[in-house]
Structures are given as C-alpha cells and as structure tokens.
Amino acid sequence: MKTTLILFGVWIPSALCVVLNFKPEIPSTPDLQALRTATTVTLTKPICVFADGDVVDVFGVQTNAKPIPNEIGSSRVSTYQQTNGGKTGPYRAASFDIPTCTSAPFVVSTVPAQIREAINQYLFRVGNDAQCLSQISNLPENCNAPLNAHAQYRFKYAVRNISTNTFINETLWSDSITLLQAPEPTVIDTWPGKRTGGMVVITTILVILLSLLLCVFVALLIYLLCLKEGSPVVEQQPIPRSYLSHHQNLGFSEGTYADPAKAVSQQPPEPEHYQSIEASLAPV
C-alpha cells in the first residue's frame, strides 16, 4: 500500500503537467535588429498560451546534449553551472510573470518608453545576465548567463505553481537555434591590397599620430599669432645722415687756410685805402 501511494504521488504531478502545442521562436519582425547574437537569443513570450499558473520558467539546452527529455515534468531542475551552460542537460535560465493575454500584435513604436514596454510584454532575451556567474556564494536559482558561442540551443517554457512548486503546463522544445559566429581575425577580408590585420593596426596608429602632429602644429601656429599680437610695437628713430658736398668754397678756403704773411702783404697801404674810399664817395 505504501509503495502504491509513493508511485501515485510521483505520478500525479507528471500527469497534471500537460505539454502544449507551442514552440518558442525568434520573432519574425524586420523592425527589430540583433534578435540573435553570438551569446543571446530573443524569443517571443507565450501570449495567451497558459491559462493557469503563477510564473513561467525558461529552460535552455544545447542541441548536442544527450538525452534531451521531452518533458520537464517533476524532474529535478538543474542550474547553469551544474549543466555547464546546457551541455549536459536542460537548465532553468530565468522566470517571468505570465504575460497578459491580448489580441494586439507586436508593433515597434517610435517612442523609446513604449518600445521598452512592448519588448518587456512580448519578448524575452535569453543570455542577457553576466552577473550571475560572478556570484561565488549564494548562487542564484536562475542564471540567465550568456550562451556559449558557436553552439546551437533549444528552449522551452513551463508554467509553475509557486505554492506547490510544481509544473502545470509546458510547451514543446523550440527548433534548434544557431547563434551568430563572429569571424576570426585570420579570415577577415583583406581587400583591397591584401592588407593583413597587422597592417590595419599599424595604419590606424600612424593616422592617429599624424592627427596629433597636425593638432600640435595648429596649436603652435595659434600661439605664435597671439604672441605677435600681444607684443608692443617699437618705433624706429630716424638715423642722422651726413652729406659731403662735392663743391668747394674756394674763396672761403683760400681766405681761411692762406698764409698770413701773404695776406698781410697783399693788403694795400692805409693811405691808399682811404684814398680809394674818398674817390668812391666823391660826387660825379
């Protein structure tokens, strides 16, 4: 009888968990970008899918994990660290409240506040929390850590009753989703001129140095112009000039530098001098 009750108790939660015909998928809207990156995947929330329950759990698993259970059911829930990011089995990445059932389609608005509100209502991003991996003590139950690059993932939604901590309904596993792969530096297209990554780095450094040199030259030129405008102007005084005449005053030079003896001898005697004066003064 005890064995029957134990089996019955284990079977009831599994029987109550119903798998619904719904698959999580990436929204097919051209208005949104980066829905799939190297470490994250944006999924549509289960709008009008779950009628009962309190919270929706998001499970993820790598496609190459063996085996992948079809149902979460009453199985033990593993964490990101325990499954090595979904390599060995499903892990619970995150939880959110059951979205409001609405018939309005998802429309990207031009108002930033409305865009954020619409995304939170209709979409959920897996791999958007890098802080949970840095917590050594008190590891969180849910860890929405970045997904492993170069891997393929599948996702599932399961609605849970918080009071009994049992799953009521869950969806199917999504189709395999491949993450984007960043190109390796060695395979970057080097056209034109067959430029390698090292040449690109050297060219970038030279362009930066040339720009700095040009800025220094412009600053020095501005400084010199300001210094020239601020210095006082010194007026130049005219330089006196002396001119030598090419004509000599013969009478002055002869009278000045003549021999005194000759000058005295050339003067007429005093009586003759007076006679000449009287003759000039006599009436005609």
Structural domain includes residue 267 = no
> What is the predicted pLDDT for the residue at 13?
40
Structural domain includes residue 245 = no
Structural domain includes residue 163 = yes
- 3-state DSSP of the chain: CHHHHHHHHHHHHHHHCEEECCCCCCCCCCCCCCCECCCCEEEECCCCCCCCCCEEEEEEEECCCCCCCCCCCCCCCCCCCCCCCCCCCCEEEEEEECCCCCCCCCCCCCCHHHHHHHHHHHEEEECCCCCHHHCCCCCCCCCCCCCCCCCEEEEEEEEEECCCCEEEEEECCCCCEECCCCCCHHHCCCCCCCCCHHHHHHHHHHHHHHHHHHHHHHHHHHHHHHHHHHCCCCCCCCCCCCCCCCCCCHHHHHHHHCCHHHHHHHCCCHHHHHHHHHHHHCCC
> What is the predicted pLDDT for the residue at 201?
85
Structural domain includes residue 128 = yes
> What is the predicted pLDDT for the residue at 212?
92
Range of the domain at 123: 11-187
Please indicate, yes or no, whether the overall pTM of this predicted structure exceeds 0.85: no
> What is the predicted pLDDT for the residue at 170?
93
Domain count, the chain: 1
> What is the predicted pLDDT for the residue at 2?
39
Structural domain includes residue 77 = yes
Q: Any idea what the CATH number is for the domain that residue 61 is in?
A: 2.60.40.10
Residues of the chain with confidence (pLDDT) below 50: 1-15, 263-264
> What is the predicted pLDDT for the residue at 76?
81
Structural domain includes residue 90 = yes
